[in-house]
Amino acid sequence: MFNLKMNMPFYLMVFYGSIMIFAVLILRGLLKNKLPKFVFPILWGVILLRLLVPFSLSSPLSMKVPEFILNYPFETAVTQDYAIAEDIPDDTPFQEAEYSTSLKPGTATEIVQEAAAPEAAFGIAYSGYGVQDLYAPLALFVYAAGILATAGILFTQKYQYSKRLSSSLLVEHNETINTLLREMDMGHILVFTNDAIASPLVCGLFAPRIYLPTRMDFGSTELLRHILCHETMHIRRKDNWLKFVMLITLCIHWFNPLVWIMSRYLASDLEMACDEAVLRLYDHKNEAEETKKSYALSLLAMAISGSRPTLLYSAFSKTEVEKRIQNILHYQKASALLLAFSICLVLSGSVVFATGGQAPFYPDITAFCYSDSCRWGVCASLTRDAHLGDNAQDRAERLIFDIMTADSTNDPDILEEQIITALSNEFHVEKNAFALDFSLCLIDEDLYAEYEKWGLVRKDEDNDMTLLYNGETIRTYSDKMIGRYMSQQEGAFDLTVERNRLGEIVAVNAFREGDAEYDNRTRELEQSSWKYASSTPHTVNALQEQEIEVTKTADNIAESR
């Protein structure tokens, strides 16, 4: 199931496009001499599409959006809603969330906000404008200046070439050229000669023209055939259009060195693909071997000394001319198996590259779903962007509740398979598009009844934050599967509760002073206390200074009035 949106952020276009360029460069280095030459221009074209069009195409083959890109507000992760099937006691454990502070009665949100208060105040007092607010205009100015500079350089080069070609003379009465063009079904193409160029070239987008150097031997029919066949092949394949798109990409992505490397290889691959396409025309003839040799000689004779493939026009070029000639002389018609492999490679590569990037999306499908007939609570989310239709949350939660209510196994693996299968069938999306986050949900009576069997009891019935283990106070305690983490300054033990996959307690681990776990935790608590103590005075002073500045400003305004 595909989901197409035009919402790809520019920085993600750069990110995914760079990965694609790097992948094609590796593929090119490994298989360049084994695959037909048309493969790589097509792959480069797909990359250009990714770099220029902000589409976000999500499919089962899509790359996962990197975690650093999914920046959701902190409150969203902490204050999730509950979707309740039946009556749930108010003290049901909150979904799994890690925090380390001196806990006391209150909601998870209140505890986390209180722990984060000094840092938040410090940020308000000292931040003022964020770093991105200060540097964003400068970055935008530099980026715009880079676009203008790159476009100016390329336009200047284009203008210089156009000026050189403006004095060209139209070839009207060369019967050999006219006959060859008609044989190629390209009789509408105009051919010019020019003294200022040293090699044949094609220039123009809507009305491409062929330019021939005046110095070439117009009496050689074979040379003219090879040149015209090569240049008209560029026109048929729309190579100048692809190069024009590459020029636009260079202007927009001028800061990306991989794009400049890509432009060089694109021009080279277009020439080699064109050579191969010309040679393919002679495969059915007996003189194929002789044609390859004579075509290679024509290529060598008309190549420009010391030049490189250019994006401004399509021309015979001497860059990597040895490799091109070797490719021509060793050219063999691709076997049916290799041709099929190449087509599959292009299609699969295009699909993977096209769907490899997707814009950030909100992954949550449901709130936290819990039923008192099941020991587990669950949240459902998406691993990729997918269209789920109307009322997706209500439909998903209804399915989950039905399954949890009917479940008698309390096995999270069985529940996961049933829920994901039901979601996949309901929304017609592959199973891998869904992810479930299970948390063990126990009311206090059941939880502490389990704890008592292992020697773990509450110190005070009205305060479940302080625990005793075999009569001694616990300093830190964690029961990860139900999302409980508690810490205080004093205590004889650091304790962890281990459960199996069914949520049953299998061990209670206690660590005393002298144990590595206990000593490491002691150092962490001391560092946390030092950071809290050192940041608080600064925060208070900063807030006081800010209040004084506001007061002074108000007094000045009053005096001015």
pLDDT digits (tens, 9 = 90+) for 146-156: 999 999 999 99
pLDDT tens for each residue of 79-119: 344 455 544 444 444 333 333 333 333 333 333 333 333 33
DSSP 68: G
Each residue's pLDDT tens digit, 463-485: 555 778 888 888 888 888 888 88
Q: What pLDDT, in 10s, does the model give residues 323-379?
A: 666 666 566 566 677 778 778 877 777 777 666 677 888 889 999 888 888 889 999
| d(C-alpha 26, C-alpha 36), whole Å | 16
- Provide CB contacts within 8 A for 246, sequence distance 6+: 44, 48, 262, 263, 266, 311
**What confidence tier does 530 reach under pLDDT thresholds 50, 70, 90?**
low
The answer to whether the beta carbons of residues 359 and 385 sit under 8 Å apart is yes
Would the pTM of this model clear 0.85, i.e. be above it?
A: no
Question: What is the rounded end-to-end Cα distance, in angstroms, of the chain?
Answer: 67
Element (H, E) at 486: strand 484-487
- Residue position matching structure tokens 């909150």: 94
Query: Mean pLDDT over residues 427-448, rounded?
Result: 89
Q: Write the pLDDT tens digit of every residue in 170-229.
A: 988 888 899 999 988 998 999 999 988 878 889 888 899 999 988 888 888 888 888 899
Give the DSSP per-residue string, 93-113. PPPP----SB--SS-HHHHHH
Confidence class of residue 259 from pLDDT cuts 50, 70 and 90?
A: very high
| Average pLDDT over every residue of 28-56 | 88
Whether the predicted pLDDT of 138 surpasses 80: yes
Could you give the CA distance from residue 377 to residue 375 in angstroms, rounded to a whole number? 7
Reported for 460-466, long-range contacts at CB under 8 A and 24+ positions apart, including other chains, are: 463/105, 465/103, 465/104, 465/105
Token pair 């008309």 in the structure block, residue: 302
